[in-house]
Amino acid sequence: MNTSVGTLIGLGFYLTGGLLPAADYVIAVIDPTRIVEQSPQYEAARAQLEEEVNDREQKLAEQQKRLSELQQKLERDAALMSEEELQRLQTDIRNRGRKVKYAQAEFREDFSLRQNELRTKLARQVEEVVAELAREENIDLILSEGMVYVSKRIDISDKIIMRLKEKFEASKGL
């Protein structure tokens, strides 16, 4: 059992004199990983991120290819070049190499930031739906991660997923 959940339950027992009347409380459980992975919002965010990544990866690959071509030219034609041409080509290769490294680092950072933005947005949507469903169904406590055993009777993950699908479909109509 999760330590914080155990502490919460222990505190509840202490405050109520050791007994919590089970009929007075509604407890539910969610599987946040399943909710996220089965939500259409996750799939849309993944597809959007993949599209953004593909464009930038293609540009980076083109830059890397051009750099490799110049390096091959240097290796192949160095003996035939004048000192000035050789110097110019080496400088061009160095500058392009720096630009490619910078672009790759910037890409990784942007990808990470974008991934976090989408993850945060999705987490917020899930939290809103969980709270909305809890209010509608008068659920007093919803637990998530760290469960050893969960009865299907109290797992409301499917309801959350359905609600997310409804909200996704409604937002597409706007």
Domain boundaries, the chain: 3-172
Q: How many CB atoms lie within 10 A of CB 164?
A: 23
| Contact criterion met (CB below 8 Å) for 67 and 96 | yes
pLDDT of residue 166: 92
Averaged pLDDT for residues 31-48: 89
Question: Would you state the pLDDT for residue 142?
Answer: 87
Can you give the pTM of this predicted structure? 0.63
Q: What pLDDT was estimated at residue 78?
A: 85
Kind plus residue range of the DSSP H or E element containing 28? strand 27-29
Q: Judge contact between 107 and 60, C-beta under 8 A.
A: yes
Residue with the bigger pLDDT between 146 and 14: it is: 146
Q: How far apart are CA 99 and CA 160, in angstroms?
A: 46
Rounded-to-integer distance, Cα 157 and Cα 54, Å:
32
Percent of the chain with pLDDT over 70: 83
CA distance 32 to 12: 25
CATH top-level class for 3-172?
A: alpha beta
Burial 35-51 (b: 16+ CB within 10 A, else e): bbebbbbbeebeeebee
Residues 141 and 167: their CA atoms lie apart, in Å, by: 23
Kindly tell me the burial class for residue 89, based on how many C-beta atoms sit within 10 Å of its own C-beta (0-12, 13-18, 19 or more).
Answer: middle
Q: Please, are residues 39 and 164 in contact by the beta-carbon 8 Å criterion?
A: yes
How many Cβ atoms are within 10 Å of 115's Cβ, its own excluded? 14
Tell me what pLDDT residue 173 has.
65
In angstroms, how far is CA 92 from the centroid of its own chain?
38
pLDDT at 3: 46
Cβ-contact 160, 40 below 8 angstroms: no
> Residue 40 — very low, low, confident or very high, per pLDDT cuts 50/70/90?
very high
- Report the first-to-last Cα separation within the chain, whole angstroms: 43
Average pLDDT over residues 103-111: 92
| Secondary structure of residue 141 in the 3-state scheme | strand
Range with the lowest mean pLDDT among 57-61, 68-72, 120-124, 145-149? Answer: 145-149
Any idea what DSSP says for residue 140? S
pLDDT (tens digit, 9 = 90+) per residue, 50-106? 988 898 899 999 999 999 999 998 899 888 888 999 999 999 999 999 999 999 999
